[in-house]
Amino acid sequence: MNVRIEEIDGNVVAILEGNLDTAAAAETEKAMSPLNDVEGKDIIIDCTALAYISSAGLRIFLGILQNAQAKGGHVYIKGINDNVRAVFTITGFSNIFEFK
């Protein structure tokens, strides 16, 4: 699992590549922790190259969303494939997150 965080067009973008499963969750959460310090900018989680997400991965996304909302920010999910979208739909996360 690879995570890159970049600033693009005034947004903070986390680009995820690989499988966000339980084994990768701790390392991924640490790599995404800078998103918890974002203020005054939108956060975009780019899942274009994310092949799989487990419940542990969803928990990471939810934590980022809750932290951003507490600061008045927005979190958008971008580029999810059909398999990842199905996980978001089944768990109800498709009703919690905004998609680009």
Q: What is the CATH number of the domain that holds 38?
A: 3.30.750.24
Q: Say how many domains are in the chain.
A: 1
Separation in Å, CA 53 to CA 1, 16, 22, 50, 66: 11, 11, 9, 8, 19
Which of 9, 3, 92, 96 is closest to 47 using CA atoms? 3
Give the containing element (helix H, strand E) for 60: helix 55-70
Residue 12: phi and psi, rounded to 5, are -100, 120
Taking the chain (100 residues) in runs of 10, the rounded mean pLDDT of each run is 96 98 97 96 97 97 96 96 96 96
Residue span of the structural domain in which 10 resides: 2-99
Q: What is the pLDDT of residue 37?
A: 95
The pTM of this model reads: 0.95
